[in-house]
Chain A
Amino acid sequence: MATVAVPQLSGYHRPAVLDWIMTVDHKRLGILYLYFTLFFFAVGGILALLVRTQLAVADNSFVGNDAYNQIFTMHASAMLFLFIIPVWAGFGNYLVPLQIGAADMAFPRINALSFWMLPPAGILMFAGFIVDGGAADGGWTAYSPLAQQTGVGMDMWIIAVIVLGMSSTIGAANFLVTMFRMRAPGMTMFRMPIFCWTMLVTALLQLLATPVLAAALVMLFIDRNYGGQFFDPNGGGNVVLWQNVFWFYSHPAVYIMILPGMGIVSEILPVFSRKPLFGYKAFVFATIGIGGLGFSVWAHHMFTTGSVLLPFFGFMTFMIGVPTGVKIFNWLGTLWGGSISFPTPMLFAIGFVSMFLIGGINGTYSAAVPVDFALHDTYFVVAHIHYVLFGGSVFAVFGGLYYWFPKIWGRQLNERLGKLHFVLMFVGFNVAFFPMHMLGLDGMPRRIAVYADSAGWEALNMLSTGGAFLIAVSMIPFLIAVVMAFMRPKDQPDDPWEANTLEWATTSPPPDYNFDSLPPVRSERPLFDARHSGEEQGH
Chain B
Amino acid sequence: MLGMPLRRRLRLLVATVTAALLALLATGTASAIQPGGITDEARLMNDLFWIVTIAGLIVFGLVGAALVYAMIRYRRQNDELPPQFHGGGKIEAAMVGVPVLIVIGLFTISMIILVQIDDKAEDEALTIDVTGFQFSWQFAYNLNDLGTNTDPNAEGTIAVIGTPANDPILYMPVDEPVEFLLKSNDVIHSFYVKDFLYKLDLIPGRVNSFTVTARETGDFSAQCAELCGTNHALMRFIVRVVERDEFDAWVAAEAARQLGDGALVSASGTQGD
Contact = CB atoms under 8 A, between A and B. Distances in A.
Interface of A: 65-66, 69, 138-139, 143, 145-146, 149, 233-234, 237-240, 273-276, 278-280, 282, 304-307, 310-311, 314-315, 318-319, 321-322, 324-326, 328-330, 332-333, 335-342, 347, 350-351, 353-354, 357-358, 361-362, 364-365, 367-371, 373-374, 376-378, 416, 419, 423, 426-427, 430, 434, 437-438, 441-443, 445, 447-452, 454-455, 532, 537-539
Contacts of B197: 373-374
Given A314-B110, A332-B66, A445 B27 contact: no
B259 interface: no
Contacts of B70: 332, 335-336, 338, 340
Contacts of B2: 416
* Centre residue among A238, A239, A370, A373 by max chain B CB count within 10 A: A370
Given A339-B76, A373-B197, A443-B194, A448 B82 contact: no
Contacts of B236: 452
Given A338-B74, A376-B199, A447-B227, A321 B221 contact: no
B199 A427 contact: no
Given A314-B110, A370-B114, A426-B20, A276 B86 contact: yes
Interface in B1-46: 2, 10, 13-14, 16-17, 20-21, 24, 27-28, 31-32, 34, 42, 44-45
Contact of A377 (B56, B87, B106, B190): B190
A362 B198 CA distance: 18
Contact of A314 (B32, B107, B204): B107
Contact of A326 (B48, B96, B199): B96
B52 A368 contact: yes
Interface in B141-196: 186-188, 190, 192, 194
B52 A274 contact: no
Contacts of A69: 227, 229-230, 232
B111 A329 contact: no
B75 interface: yes
B63 A328 contact: yes
B71 A350 contact: yes
Interface string B203-222: 11110100000000000010
Interface of B: 2, 10, 13-14, 16-17, 20-21, 24, 27-28, 31-32, 34, 42, 44-45, 48-49, 52, 55-56, 59-60, 63-64, 66-67, 70-71, 74-78, 80-87, 91-92, 95-96, 98-100, 102-104, 106-107, 109-111, 113-114, 117, 186-188, 190, 192, 194, 197-201, 203-206, 208, 221, 223-234, 236
B187 to A, nearest CB: 4
Given A314-B107, A337-B83, A373-B199, 8 more contacts: A280-B87, A329-B91, A368-B49, A374-B45, A377-B192, A423-B13, A445-B224, A455-B221
Given A146-B188, A333-B87, A538-B83, A358 B114 contact: no
Contacts of A322: 96, 99-100, 103
A149 B86 contact: no
Given A310-B114, A445-B192, A336 B13 contact: no
B86 A539 contact: yes
Contacts of A377: 190, 192, 199, 225-226
12 contacts: A279-B91, A305-B203, A306-B201, A314-B114, A335-B71, A337-B74, A341-B75, A347-B13, A354-B64, A419-B13, A445-B224, A539-B86
B99 A239 contact: no
Given A367-B106, A430-B24, A445 B84 contact: no
B49 to A, nearest CB: 5
B87 A278 contact: yes
B81 A274 contact: yes
Given A364-B52, A371-B49, A326 B99 contact: yes
Contacts of A371: 45, 48-49, 52, 110
Contacts of A342: 10, 13-14, 71, 75
Given A240-B203, A369-B110, A374-B198, A282 B92 contact: yes
A371 B6 CA distance: 47
A441 B63 contact: no
Contacts of A442: 194
B84 A537 contact: yes
Contacts of B234: 65, 450
A271 to B, nearest CB: 12
Contacts of B96: 282, 322, 326
B208 A350 contact: no
Contacts of A233: 204-206
Given A275-B85, A357-B60, A538-B84, A374 B106 contact: no
Contact of A275 (B44, B56, B84): B84
Nearest to B203: A239
Nearest to B195: A443
A228 to B, nearest CB: 15
A321 B194 contact: no
A358 B106 contact: no
A451 B103 contact: no
A535 to B, nearest CB: 8
A239 to B, nearest CB: 5
A198 to B, nearest CB: 18
A424 B204 CA distance: 46
B82 A306 contact: no
A454 B221 contact: yes
Given A311-B111, A427-B20, A443-B194, A335 B52 contact: no
B52 A149 contact: no
Contacts of A304: 190, 199-201
B186 to A, nearest CB: 7
A450 B236 CA distance: 11
A327 to B, nearest CB: 9
A143 B188 contact: yes
A372 B204 CA distance: 22
A340 B102 CA distance: 30
A351 B17 CA distance: 9
A-B interface, 9 closest residue pairs, ranked by CB to CB distance from nearest: A233-B205, A443-B194, A325-B99, A448-B233, A279-B87, A374-B197, A318-B103, A306-B208, A368-B110
B223 to A, nearest CB: 6
A326 B223 CA distance: 40
By CB atoms of chain B within 10 A, which of A340, A351, A376, A532 has the most?
A340
A442 to B, nearest CB: 7
A66 B230 contact: yes
Contacts of B60: 357-358, 361
Given A304-B199, A322-B100, A325-B95, A445 B75 contact: no
Contacts of B107: 314-315, 318, 367-368
B98 A325 contact: yes
Contacts of B66: 332, 336
B103 A321 contact: yes
Contacts of A335: 67, 70-71, 74
Contacts of B32: 437, 441
B225 A378 contact: yes
Nearest to A448: B233
Contacts of B223: 445, 448
